Chain A
Amino acid sequence: MELTLWTYEGPPHVGAMRIAASMEGLHYVLHAPQGDTYADLLFTMIERRDRRPPVTYTTFQARDLGGDTAELVKRSIQQAVDRFQPEALLVGESCTAELIQDQPGALAGGMNLGVPVVNLELPAYSKKENWGAAETLYQLCRTLLREQLPAPGTPRPSPDRWRAEGRRPRVNLLGPSLLGFRCRDDIKEIRGLLGEHGIDVNVVAPMGARPADLVRLPEADANVCLYPEVAGPLCSWLERQFGTPVVRTVPIGVGATRRFLAELSTVLDLEAPEANEADLRSRMPWYSRSVDSTYLTGKRVFIFADATHAIAAARIAADELGFTVVGLGTYSRELAREVRAAAKELGLEALITDDYLAVEKAMGEAAPELVLGTQMERHSAKRLGIPCAVISAPLHVQDVPARYAPQMGWEGANVIFDSWVHPLMMGLEEHLIGMFRHDFEFVEGHRSHLAEGAPPRQAAAHEPDVAAVAGSSMAAAANGTAAAGATATLAPPTVTEGTAVWSADGEAALRKIPFFVRGKVKTNTETFARDHGVAAITEEVLYDAKAHYSK
């Protein structure tokens, strides 16, 4: 038994739903009680899908349990087949149905439905969503490809058979699914990238594929494992059974996209890509080298995501943006080994957990300046006041943007540059607002720069009084609420309870410090004063602190 407040992944049957909902012509009969239909809203709300997932729920109730739930299952299956006329049928159960052991898959198998039936056995008490998605895709393909399995000993097809057959090489793109991160746009980006390199796409699956398309999977010269969480087991099986080589580099980031193209050209026996392609096709390398990006140097970044995006993000952060990765982890236990290896390269110990509170704790301890994570980390980072960019499922509706925003390929690198750097810009902006707050021109909220937009009271007139009122207004601020009017607009550096008090000369010195570092100097000085038992912060204390911190 394990206490869970929020989970990164749903149960494995939600993974199966992701496969069913991503495809066309496939239907899923799920033996489940009332309430399990909640999963529909993940698709209709988060992904804004215009139709319900192709799932029929048996909706059994307590009073059915004494009777014949198997009959209910068979009725639901027959009705679903009659109504939706799928090309293939997935049959499975959710956690509760697993306990009553009706074996709906076996029941369906005996019904002569006239369509391929996949009996999904997804252990709800030990596995999770991504595993369920991977297992479903694998079992579905296994069922559909059963008749094509080559006899043992059949030689592997040559990866350059395309040449002999007088056609362009072709690959399958495997793994993109609904509720995955930006899969829709990644497919488009990678399809374009491959096209530029003379490679055709045979089948994209599961997203957009029909069962009939899956039957054509062995016609590809290679399988591109775009999302290992979902496509890993299928790619390995296709490699074992059909001898189809797998391209395993996930093309997220400039370097990874280059390595991806290099791996493809090796596997398919193509000419190696041009060395300067990245500079020609993506703005990211230049943006990252440009002087404006200097301030990104050494930014401390904490990364927690699914394995695919965590590993890619760590590499981009370290190699392509010059960040310092101070934490790396994943909730994808199936790919923990890969994440551990990536962390080790950065001199870190990977955090492998599905407890978001453990992640928040690690995040707090790592004191990052940027968090790259899931929706969970976005919330945790918000609580800790750290800028955050979402890089992985689990998603929020805002992570499914209307615009084209891939993560993969050259454009993906551009998108990543923008979406990771902007929260930092925002961070800086907020910092500036924090600084400007103490300047007399500043009024809470944004104001027009037009004369009539100026504050009604001429704040400047009060400027000479600052020193005089400093003591009293500081006291007011320390009491929690800055008084209205002059105090609000003129509030000098404030102290919070329990910290040292600024003397008049200390404060005057502080005000001479440029606004953009004033906040930091103030905090540092107060920390220094507290640590050294100094009660009043004079000008000298300020300089002592400065010397202390510049060591």
Chain B
Amino acid sequence: MGSSALRPVKESADEARFPHSLPPDGLTRKGPTPVPMASTPTLPPLLRESGQREVFCGLTSIVWLHRRMPDAFFLVVGSRTCAHLVQSAAGVMIFAEPRFGTAILGERDLAGLADANEELDRVVNDLLERRPEIRTLFLVGSCPSEVIKLDLAKAAERINTRMRGRVRVVNYSGSGIETTFTQGEDGALSALVPLLPSSDENQLLLVGTLADGVEDRFLTLFERLGIGPVRSLPPRQSTALPAVGPGTKLLLAQPFLSDTVRALERRGATRLPSPYPLGVEGSRAWMAAAAAAFGVDPNLVAEVLDPLVERGRRALAPLRRQLEGKRLFLMPDSQLEIPLARFLSRECGMELVEVGTPYLDRPLMAEELALLPEGTQLSEGQDLERQLERVRAARPDLVVCGLGIANPLEAEGIATKWSIELVFSPIHGIDQAADLAELFARPLHRRQLLKWN
């Protein structure tokens, strides 16, 4: 084993597969063993667009957040549209009495006939009476509540005072005029940050919702690496909030948590720069970044992770054969686009036509951007019709896009992968890399299977 904690590559075949060595830049900037900087790829100017956006608003994050914290309820204060949106986005989920709902504003609330605050208190009372198991209530602002300037922070404070001890009320905005799709989770988590207890203890804090199974796997691996304690935000129980302080090292499981990171940094935590844990390479670098920060012997890192890396690559190999050389267009959706583009180009050999992202947070994406192939065209924001014109002109082999666009593109003869599946599926970690690649290979494979003569 070499001295670098970041040796993803052992076989010569793989050397060819991964022409860019992992950029030690950032990964070890704050770690104990600095390694030489790698060259950053030259990317064409960012294409910034504004216009019609075919992207969900931040309310949609509720769909996975409520499953992560089964003792929390998410109450959107909004319109029938909000209720219909969350329900339609959640249409793929199991229909149970959900732990989310909408307090729908009516004409009386708008006309001031009814004091909206009193009405909200009444709705919250009814709700908590019916759901006594709820420990944390998120009041979620929406476009209409923001526009009429309904003060949900005040409402949360008021209800908190009344409910003290029984339930904790926090508020954030998931409105479409301020947030896109996954930013809703950023809002929810940053609303929790002020509630986190303080602690100087050295600990690793994983930030961002992971599927429980994936998280368990990471915890096992961190334990094997001798890293601990490891805590998570969001926690599995809304009342079991992790502490935060100067000893806290943040490892971001998701790339869309800009505000949460800033809030945690203000509490003294330090972010460990790393690619995101998607694919073999990203996941290894992610865990290695934590290992470096906790002074773990690189030999131990290699000993624990390299067998997994090798197995992960073996599992990926057949999928790489299907994806290699295929041209990929990612439309802006979940903020996962850049890490996915990195994985699909470097580990699966796909060619990137355009990588769209709703917004580009350069500091949080630095390590990912450094891994993108030379010349990758990034676009930020969206002007849907113009972007679709570029799709049609480029005729990519696969387009990653939202549900509203997928069937229309398929009907035009262009294969698609629904992006929403990526936020519902366990895709993080070395062991999931092949499953992740399979999500993209399946539409292409299916096209090969179907015959009509």
By a beta-carbon cutoff of 8 Å, the part of chain A in contact with chain B is 1-7, 9-11, 13-14, 33-42, 44-45, 48-52, 56-62, 65, 76, 79, 83, 94-96, 99-100, 123-126, 128, 357, 379, 396
Shortest beta-carbon distance, B208 to chain A, in Å? Answer: 21
- Verify if B322 is at the interface (C-beta below 8 Å from A): no
Knowing A34-B177, A40-B404, A96-B79, the reply to whether A3 touches B110 (Cβ < 8 A) is no
Segment touching A, from B51-59, B240-248, B390-398, B432-440: B51-59
* Chain B residues whose C-beta falls within 8 Å of the C-beta of A11 in the assembled complex: 79-81, 84
Complex-state Cα separation, A9 to B87, whole angstroms: 11
Provide the residues of chain A in CB contact with B97, threshold 8 Å.
Answer: 5, 357
| Cβ < 8 Å to A, chain B residues 143-190 | 143-144, 146-148, 175-178, 180
Q: Which of B122-130, B195-203, B221-229, B294-302 participates in binding chain A? A: B122-130
B102 and A14 contact, CB distance less than 8 A: no
Q: Which of B126, B127, B147 has the most CB of A within 10 A?
A: B147
Q: Assess whether B324 is interfacial by the CB under 8 Å rule.
A: no
Which chain A residues border B81 with CB–CB below 8 Å? 10-11, 13-14, 36, 94-96, 124
Verify A49–B408 contact, CB threshold 8 A.
yes
Q: Quick check: which of B36-44, B112-120, B270-278, B309-317 contacts chain A, the rest being far away?
A: B112-120
Name the distance in Å between A263's Cβ and chain B's nearest Cβ: 36
Residues of B within 8 A of A37 (CB): 52-56, 402, 404
Q: Are B80 and A128 in contact (CB under 8 A)?
A: yes
Contact of B56 among A14, A38, A59, A62 (CB under 8 A): A38
A125 engages B107 (CB within 8 Å): yes
What is the CA–CA distance of A45 and B405 in the complex, to the nearest angstrom? 9
Rounded to whole Å, the gap between the CB of B215 and the closest CB of chain A is 28
Task: Please tell me which one of the listed residues A3, A6, A7 contacts residue B126 in the complex, with CB atoms under 8 A apart.
Answer: A3
With A3-B102, A37-B54, A50-B407 known as contacts, the answer to whether A125 contacts B83 (CB < 8 A) is no
10 intermolecular pairs with C-beta atoms under 8 Å apart = A7-B87, A37-B55, A39-B84, A44-B405, A45-B91, A59-B53, A79-B385, A95-B78, A99-B147, A125-B109
B85 at the interface (CB under 8 A from A): yes
B interface list, Cβ under 8 A from A: 51-60, 75, 78-81, 83-85, 87-89, 91, 95, 97-98, 100-107, 109-110, 114, 116, 119-120, 122-123, 126-127, 143-144, 146-148, 175-178, 180, 385, 402-408, 410-411
* A33 and B122 form a contact (CB under 8 A): no
Contacting residues, chain B, for A65 (C-beta < 8 A):
147, 177
Q: Is the CB of A44 within 8 A of B406?
A: yes
CB pair B88–A99 under 8 Å, yes or no, is no
Across the interface, do B80 and A124 meet the contact criterion of CB distance under 8 Å?
A: yes
A398 to chain B, nearest CB (A): 12
B98 partner, pick from A5, A57, A126, A396, beta carbons under 8 A: A5
CB–CB B105/A59 < 8 A: no
B148 & A99 in contact (Cβ 8 Å cutoff): yes
Please measure, in the bound complex, the distance between the C-alpha atom of A245 and the C-alpha atom of B378, giving whole angstroms.
60
A1 touches B79 (CB 8 A): no
CA of A51 to CA of B410, assembled, Å: 9
* Closest CB pairs A-B (n = 9): A35-B57, A35-B176, A40-B404, A50-B411, A1-B119, A96-B143, A95-B79, A41-B403, A33-B176
Instruction: Please tell me if the beta carbons of B54 and A36 are within 8 angstroms of each other in the complex.
Output: no
Majority secondary structure, B binding face = helix
B57 touching A41 by the CB < 8 A rule?
Answer: no
Main secondary structure of the interface of A (DSSP, over half): mixed
Q: Is the pair B79, A35 in contact by a Cβ cutoff of 8 Å?
A: no
* Closest chain B CB from A493 CB (angstroms): 31
| CB of A101 to closest CB in B, whole Å | 10
List, in ascending order, chain B residues with CB within 8 A of A94's CB: 81
CA of A60 to CA of B60, assembled, Å: 18
Are A59's CB and B51's CB within 8 A? yes
Q: Are B98 and A6 in contact (CB under 8 A)?
A: yes
Q: Is the CB of A123 within 8 A of B107?
A: yes
Q: Which residues of A contact B408 (CB under 8 A)?
A: 44, 49-52
Tell me if A83 and B385 are in contact (CB < 8 A).
Answer: yes
Complex-state Cα separation, A123 to B100, whole angstroms: 25
Complexed CA–CA distance, A62 and B75 (Å): 22
Q: Which of A42, A83, A96, A396 neighbours the largest number of chain B CB atoms within 10 Å of its CB? A: A96
Residues B79 and A6 in contact, CB atoms below 8 Å apart: no
> What residue of chain A has the Cβ atom nearest to residue B402's Cβ?
A41
Residues of chain B within 8 A (CB-CB) of A38 are 56, 60, 84-85, 88-89, 404
- Do A4 and B144 touch (CB < 8 A)? no
Q: Are B405 and A61 in contact (CB under 8 A)?
A: no
Residues of B within 8 A of A123 (CB): 107
* Other-chain contact of A99, B52, B120, B127, B144 (Cβ < 8 Å): B144
Q: Which residues of A contact B402 (CB under 8 A)?
A: 37, 41
Contact of A1 among B51, B56, B104, B407 (CB under 8 A): B104
Cβ of A52 and Cβ of B411 under 8 Å apart?
no
Question: Smallest CB–CB gap between B358 and chain A, Å?
Answer: 9
Instruction: Give the shortest distance, in Å, between A551 (CB) and chain B (any CB).
Output: 38
Among candidates A4, A56, A95, A396, residue contacting B143 with C-beta atoms closer than 8 Å: A95
Q: Is there contact, CB below 8 Å, between A4 and B80? A: yes
A76 and B91 CA atoms in complex are apart in Å by 30
Q: Please determine whether A5 and B403 come into contact, CB atoms closer than 8 angstroms.
A: no
Complex interface: chain B residues within 8 A of A128 (CB): 80
A357 to B131, CA, bound (A): 14
If A1-B103, A124-B81, A125-B110 touch, does A60 touch B177 (CB 8 Å cutoff)?
yes
Would A34 and B55 count as touching, CB distance under 8 A? yes
Q: Which residues of A contact B403 (CB under 8 A)?
A: 40-41, 44-45
Residues of A within 8 A of B410 (CB): 50
Chain A residues near B110 (CB-CB < 8 A): 99, 125
In the bound complex, residues from chain B placing their C-beta under 8 Å from that of A33 are 57, 143, 175-177
Contacts of A379 in B (CB 8 A): 95
Given contacts A34-B57, A40-B404, contact A95 B120 (CB under 8 A): no
For residue B405, which residues in chain A have a CB less than 8 angstroms away from its CB? Answer: 40, 44, 52
Q: Report Cα–Cα, A42/B56, bound state, in Å.
A: 13
- Alpha-carbon distance A40/B406, docked complex (angstroms): 11
In Å, the complex CA distance between A65 and B175 comes to 14
A41 to B85, CA, bound (A): 10
Closest to B181 in A: A35
Contact of B116 among A1, A3, A83 (CB under 8 A): A1
